[in-house]
Amino acid sequence: MRALSIHNLLIGEYGDHAWRPRLDALSELVLTILSQNTNDVNRDRAWQRLQERFAGPNWEKVMSAPTEALVEAIRPGGLAQTKAARIQQALRTVLDTCGEFSLDFLRHMPAEEARAWLMQLEGVGPKTAAIVLLFSLGRPAFPVDTHVHRVSRRLGLIPANTSREKAHHLLEELLPPETYYSFHLNLIAHGREVCRPRPPRCGLCVLQRCCDYYRQMTSSP
């Protein structure tokens, strides 16, 4: 009930969000690999260069290209050598699995099986898998990024010592799946605008009465 109260307060502040696919699932997977250990600006530069260098991108060309050519294309995103190898291996696995460059087959798997399939790919952890499932396929998964992790711990929705990996399952258990999309987006918005790392803007926060962190700060001598 507390989590639902927080969800409703965030909707009042940031709005409700109807689900819509952002990219096809394979493109989302590659984009999310590019986003690892970098910021959105550098991720987007790497993605743009990938599209320009490989025509679309054409996944056959990306998979078959010399790894160094892919490294050069995605270099602005950082860790290009590692990411290039992971992207090419993921494309080979997808092609071997279903004979085409598509992850649409995951729509028809039970959600946990789809998550497990994605996570057997090199470099794909709970966050990357959840992003692909939620944002491209509309499957019940709750991605946990830096903002979601920080805000949910401060609120007391998850224990303060909860790892990001474990937080995915704990947060999924708190709310019905139909709320995941809006709740995820609104926690991110709140983390960027109000519940910042240092200092949080507690005086502007609509979640004061629900927040363990605010209660501790205001009760301190």
Among 61, 83, 127, 166, which one carries the catalytic annotation?
Answer: 127
CA distance 119 to 132: 11
What angle, 0 to 180 degrees and rounded to 10, lies between the N-to-C axes of helices 164-174 and 146-155? 60
* Closest residue by Cα to residue 197 from 150, 130, 158: 150
| First CA to last CA distance, the chain | 30
CA distance 103 to 209: 42
Instruction: Enter the tokens of residue 118.
Output: 């994605």
CA distance 152 to 95: 38
CA distance 13 to 31: 29
Catalytic site residue 127? Answer: yes
Residues annotated as catalytic are 127
